[in-house]
Amino acid sequence: MRIIVVNMEDGDEELLLELMNSVSVHEGKIEVISSAAVPSVSFKGLTINCGKRQVFREDKEIRLTRLEYDVLYLLAAHAGQIVSKELIFKAVWGSASEDTIKVVANTVSNLRGKMEPNRHCPIYIKTVFGGYLFCDEMITDTPC
């Protein structure tokens, strides 16, 4: 079974979790697939080409694995909102995965190494209480 999540609105996280729980009963898998209606999403200095699953920072392509892209896409789709590690894990790896939530932190660390100008002072993916926050604007006036 495959569930395609397209253009989620605010508050749809509960619906996504409910869908994932019902699919896990049937040992299905959930894939987050980008919407064809949104060919690309741009943030300050960063462009995500959803149709081609490519990411560019300052017009230079950043090569991402499938999992890295899926995590980035999920975070960017919820820019300005806190996304829990549990939601990321269930949406990207699936509830039937043998991995643990630690793979989320590892994947985010890899993403930061590839896309952040300074991985120790991230401007795109912030760690916050409860998960991660994708910043839709660069924050230059706050110290690391």
Distances (CA, A) of 118 to 29, 46, 70, 89, 97: 35, 14, 22, 25, 31
Positive or negative: CA dihedral 32, 122, 48, 79 = positive
pLDDT tens-digit map of 55-85 = 999 889 999 999 999 999 999 888 899 999 9
Cβ pair 21, 28 in contact under 8 A: no
Q: Does the pLDDT value for residue 2 go beyond 50?
A: no
Give tens-digit pLDDT for 88-112: 998 998 877 777 889 999 999 999 9
Dist. CA 51–CA 40, nearest whole Å = 7
pLDDT of 7 above 60 = no
The band of 17, judged by pLDDT with boundaries at 50, 70 and 90, is low
Q: What domains does the chain contain, in order, with CATH numbers? A: 40-134 (1.10.10.10)
- pLDDT over 90 (residue 52): no
Tell me what the mean pLDDT of segment 28-47 comes to: 62
